[in-house]
Amino acid sequence: MLESGNSATWSGQFVVKGERVRNMESIETPAWVADAIFYQIFPDRFAQSERVPKPSNLEPWDARPTRHGFKGGDLLGIVEHLDYLADLGVTAIYLNPIFQSTANHRYHTHDYYQVDPILGGNSALRSLLDSAHRKGMRVILDGVFNHASRSFFQFNHIAENGPASPYADWFHIKRYPLRPYHAPKGKHGYEAWWNLPALPKLNVSTPAVREFLWDVATHWIEFGADGWRLDVPTEIDDDLFWQEFRHRVREVNPEAYIVGEIWHDASHWLQGDQFDAVMNYPVARACLGFFVGDKLWRKEVARSGYQQIDTLDARGFSTEIDRVLGLYPRPVTEVQFNLLGSHDTPRFRTLASKDNTCYRLATLFQMTYPGAPCIYYGDEIGMEGRHDPDCRRGFPWDEEQWDSELRVEVQRCIALRMTYPALRRGDLSWLLAEEGIVAYARRLGAEVVVVVLNSNRRPVTLSLPVEGQVEEGIRMKDIWEGTNLSVQGGKIETLHIPPRSGTVLVAEQGAAP
């Protein structure tokens, strides 16, 4: 039997970093995000609608994706499957880029004011936003503002006219003539993201470029989008640009959500004047390090943005989570974008060598942890995929190909989060972190929820300390098994946890032991 007196509580304290010290009590983040369940959709791969005409040269839906191939997913396909998302428990959608582009991922923007015709055009986005909003779902868009594409009008104008182009200051030109195609490496003549000629970097110091991007941002918020996920925003190293971006977006919609793709400590951008949150990759890394551990497919990790993930024991996991919880003020932490994978990472199940217990444990943690959880499309049914582009396969709508038990488990974890406000807005206190077990309490007022996760491949019996979290004699109900345990001597005695599983207990206020 394990016993522990380990206890530490997160209630929103953090260390202020950087040169911009603000009144952190005044930080405002969109209230709806803390209650949201996000679902990330890669539009070309989620669902096709017969109502959207398609070009003929498409890859087979079920074939492994290639770097340049299109499968023909569209926005009306998403509309036609909103009931699937609602049934799962989803309340918000994050869409990878949707604007006209020559790339299947659409991070090479051709026209920022036109939804790609293969996705159904602007009218399809109108239908998606209206349909989602009627179901109480929000939709945030992916903003690619650091770089455009070779086919972007202003860049093409420079390529055609050289230094005579009125748009010559829209990009960082090094030499003429530009060589957007087939130039020796590094000889294309302009700055580009990661030195890729297909992604010319916009010159955001040019006033006309700033105004253009701010107008794009407000245009789609006025159209009805509920926020922006910002692609590689640290590449635009300009606080004034992002402060004005926030100001203009919030002027249109005070509840618009602004989340940046930053993989590391983002304190500089999360002081209340730029972004609301970032994609919380440090938590995803910690989940992989602990719940997957030594089974992690490290060669795949090395080929992704993760690069390296260390195996964590229970104490190492709780220490890392404490570190992440301490990075930002509470209003920011409560709206962090908590993901377990994305279009930029191998699938969680693939990294876990197909062991679904890893994803189940990680999902239970994700749904009981501060911040807004996000499911990468298809993870809930056991989709697999190695590094990009394999992690962007077509969603299999044949239910025979689903892991339906896994989907039910994800659905159950989402319902748990939505049932208990303490899981969304409560303090977090560690109760135990040793020998493959982590246990913590989430508390909001009188509501107390205790979560115990057993990463071992054997059952364990615990004597779990809850003094200071649950009053003596209070009955604790296992919400999934229906059994009751009482608190005696500040502990829950003989708590049995099966291997590779979690237990959730809720304090029944006023109940006799």
Distance CA 463, CA 237 (A): 51
Q: Are 234 and 200 in contact (CB under 8 A)?
A: no
Distance CA 67, CA 144 (A): 19
Interstrand relation of 257-260 and 38-41 (parallel, antiparallel or unpaired): unpaired
Catalytic status, residue 320: no
Amino acid, single-letter form, for residue 386: R
Main-chain phi, psi angles of 219, to 5 degrees = -55, -45
Distance CA 411, CA 406 (A): 9
Would you give the DSSP letter of residue 143? E
Amino acid, single-letter form, for residue 487: V
List CB contacts of 315: < 8 A, sequence separation 6 or more: 433, 434
Among 44, 116, 142, 261, the one annotated catalytic: 261
Distance CA 75, CA 52 (A): 9
Among 74, 116, 231, 320, the one annotated catalytic: 231
Catalytic status, residue 59: no
Distance CA 167, CA 310 (A): 47
Walk across the sheet containing 460-465 and list its strands: 2-3, 460-465, 491-497, 484-488, 475-478, 501-508, 447-454, 437-444, 427-434, 8-10
Can you name the residues that pair with 278 across neighbouring β-strands? 260
Distance CA 405, CA 272 (A): 41
The number of helices, as runs of H, and strands, as runs of E, in the chain is 15, 20
**DSSP 3-state of 223:** helix
The helix, strand and coil proportions of the chain, stated in percent and rounded to the nearest 5, come to 35, 20, 45
Q: Which residues are catalytic?
A: 231, 261
